């Protein structure tokens, strides 16, 4: 397995994964709507068009593409974009695979712990836990169902339900530390299942190389923490003032609308399945993960 095709390659995780894979001797190409500095095959999700050479070239696909869920308020149009960017992109990949005479052997897809619901309380969620009923949970269910169709083409298929990715270049950590004073959101008691960006990238490489790996795995570190704990430790490592009084939930709802439920809720998610498969975390503890990120 040498040629790796990545969707969403220009994103935070896609760029990091590209660098790591190339450093490990893999050839990497991206699927994109426009030519990139990286080797690129063109596709257009809305027109459902894909370069037929993409799947002929690829030995494996890493599917990361999807409209950001936290970048804009959830209007009806935005919700449609969030759903269709995931389901239609996966359906288009399946079309490309079906048409290829030399199909890739492995398909690795991002998914999300939002599958379990926006607020699952203190219960520990495992891969066998039932899906939630809110908007994001139903998006993830629809997304995974499209990936299962690819699995039916007899490709080895892995889905990673990804938690809160910690990175200083974007995502939740950056947003949490934007205000002049860091403070928990709502009660601060909601659980946050996080993962260091480097461990997530290593997990994708692990899935490529461990050919017995198949099915759904939670991509979270072994030690989830509360929102209050994460905010407090992140502020300390960033050297930022911390106030232990939470931002009121009603204020967040005024600003964010329905999307506020995403930050006011939380979930404790287990990673024991991926650990039992042999994956070892470089950053199992939050404090060490934050120290590493802010050191760089």
Q: Which pLDDT band, with edges at 50, 70 and 90, does 3 fall under?
A: very high
SS3 state of residue 76: helix
Query: 99, 17, 96, 72: which is closest to 258 by C-alpha?
Result: 72
Query: 273, 271, 266, 267: which is closest to 283 by C-alpha?
Result: 271
Q: Tell me: the pLDDT tens digits for 57-86?
A: 999 999 999 999 988 889 999 999 999 999
Q: Tell me: the pLDDT tens digits for 8-62?
A: 999 999 999 999 999 999 999 999 999 888 999 999 999 999 999 999 999 999 9
Query: 244, 113, 241: which is closest to 186 by C-alpha?
Result: 244
Structural domains of the chain ordered from first start: 3-295 (3.40.50.720)
Phi-psi region of 192 (alpha: psi -120 to 50; beta: other; left: phi over 0): beta
pLDDT exceeds 90 at position 296: no
Q: What is the pLDDT of residue 25?
A: 96
According to DSSP, the β-strands at 215-219 and 194-196 are unpaired
Q: Are 115 and 139 in contact (CB under 8 A)?
A: no
Phi, psi angle pair for 225, to nearest 5°:
-135, 170
According to DSSP, the β-strands at 106-112 and 156-162 are parallel
Residue 217: CA atoms inside 13 Å, Cβ hemisphere, count?
26
Q: What is the pLDDT of residue 256?
A: 84
Query: 225, 241, 232: which is closest to 179 by C-alpha?
Result: 241
The Cα 245–Cα 200 span in angstroms is: 32
Phi, psi angle pair for 132, to nearest 5°:
-75, 180
Using alpha carbons only, how large is the chain's radius of gyration in Å? 19
Q: What is the pLDDT of residue 236?
A: 96
According to DSSP, the β-strands at 225-226 and 191-192 are antiparallel
Q: Are 256 and 191 in contact (CB under 8 A)?
A: no
Q: What is the pLDDT of residue 37?
A: 87
Q: What is the mean pLDDT of residues 223-228?
A: 97
| pLDDT > 90 fraction of the chain, expressed in percent and rounded | 88
Q: What is the pLDDT of residue 163?
A: 97
Q: Tell me: the pLDDT tens digits for 113-122?
A: 999 999 999 9
Phi, psi angle pair for 164, to nearest 5°:
-75, 115
The Cα 92–Cα 83 span in angstroms is: 14
Q: What is the mean pLDDT of residues 188-197?
A: 97
DSSP label at 260?
H
Helices 135-151 and 76-99 pack at an angle, to 10 degrees, of 10
Q: Give the residue carrying structure tokens 């997990």.
A: 203
pLDDT exceeds 90 at position 162: yes
């Amino acid at each position: 397995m040498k040629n790796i095709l990545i969707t969403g390659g220009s994103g935070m995780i896609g760029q990091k994964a590209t660098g790591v894979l190339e450093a490990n001797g893999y050839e990497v190409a991206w699927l994109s709507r426009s030519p990139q500095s990286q080797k690129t095959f063109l596709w257009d999700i809305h027109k459902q068009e894909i370069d037929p050479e993409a799947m002929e070239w690829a030995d494996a696909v890493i599917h990361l593409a999807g409209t950001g869920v936290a970048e804009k308020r959830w209007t009806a149009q935005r919700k449609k974009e969030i759903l269709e960017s995931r389901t239609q992109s996966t359906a288009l990949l399946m079309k490309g695979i079906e048409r290829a005479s030399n199909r890739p052997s492995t398909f690795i897809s991002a998914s999300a712990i939002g599958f379990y619901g926006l607020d699952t309380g203190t219960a520990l969620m495992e891969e066998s836990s039932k899906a939630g009923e809110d908007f994001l949970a139903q998006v993830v269910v629809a997304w995974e169902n499209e990936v299962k169709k690819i699995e039916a083409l007899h490709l080895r298929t892995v889905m990673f339900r990804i938690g809160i990715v910690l990175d200083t270049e974007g995502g939740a950590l950056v947003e949490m530390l934007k205000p002049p004073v860091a403070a928990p959101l709502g009660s601060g008691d909601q659980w946050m299942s996080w993962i260091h960006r480097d461990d997530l990238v290593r997990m994708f490489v692990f899935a490529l190389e461990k050919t017995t790996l198949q099915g759904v795995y939670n991509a979270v570190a072994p030690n989830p923490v509360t929102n209050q704990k994460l905010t407090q430790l992140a502020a300390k490592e960033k050297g930022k003032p911390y106030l232990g009084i939470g931002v009121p939930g009603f204020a967040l709802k005024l600003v964010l609308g329905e999307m506020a439920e995403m930050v006011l809720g939380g979930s404790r998610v287990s990673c024991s399945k991926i650990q039992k498969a042999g994956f070892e975390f470089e950053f199992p503890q939050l404090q060490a993960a934050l120290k590493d990120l802010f050191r760089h």
